[in-house]
């Protein structure tokens, strides 16, 4: 049984999205494609174009170690926060960065 012990909040530059989606797929649970992990478009104004991407989700102990200790260089341009899995402070995390979610026009 996989234990997701941590909540990962992460924001990265738009230019790093494809490479970090591939890395998250590689370090994630087998069969768990993370190809669209960073799907939340962000910008300073909340308007297109997206300058950053974000994600918030549960991760395992192994993933936490890989992100914080092994792949440090790959995540160097990211803003990362890791909390116990039951915490969800995405709103506060996002507000602290000064970025806003770009809402789809059809909502």
Tell me, what's the pLDDT at 10?
Answer: 94
At which residue do the structure tokens 């738009």 appear? 14
**How far apart are alpha carbons 51 and 67 in whole angstroms?**
22
pLDDT digits 0-9 by tens, 48-100? 999 999 999 889 999 999 999 999 999 999 999 999 999 999 999 999 999 99
Q: What is the pLDDT of residue 39?
A: 84
Cβ distance 69 to 82 under 8 Å? no
Tokens for 83, please give them: 């909390």
- The domain segmentation of the chain, as residue ranges, is 8-101
- Percentage of residues of the chain with pLDDT beyond 70: 93
Residue 32 has pLDDT above 80, yes or no: no
Q: Which of 60, 49, 77 is nearest to 24 (CA)?
A: 60
Decide if pLDDT at 31 tops 80: no
Q: What is the 3-state secondary structure (H, E, C) of 56-96?
A: EEEECHHHHHHHHHHCCCCCCCCEEEEEECCCCCHHHHHHH
pLDDT for res 80: 95
Tokens 């960073």 sit at which residue?
A: 38
Could you give phi then psi for residue 80, rounded to 5 degrees? -125, 140
Segment 3-21 mean pLDDT: 93
């Amino acid at each position: 049984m996989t234990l997701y012990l941590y909540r990962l909040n992460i924001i990265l530059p738009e230019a790093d999205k494809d490479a970090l989606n591939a890395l998250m797929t590689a370090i994630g649970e087998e069969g768990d494609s993370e190809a669209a992990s960073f799907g939340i478009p962000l910008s300073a104004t909340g308007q297109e174009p997206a300058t950053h991407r974000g994600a918030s989700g549960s991760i395992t102990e192994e993933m936490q170690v890989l992100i914080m200790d092994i792949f440090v260089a790959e995540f160097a341009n990211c803003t990362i926060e890791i909390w116990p899995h039951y915490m969800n402070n995405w709103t506060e995390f996002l507000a602290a960065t000064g970025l806003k979610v770009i809402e789809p026009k059809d909502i």
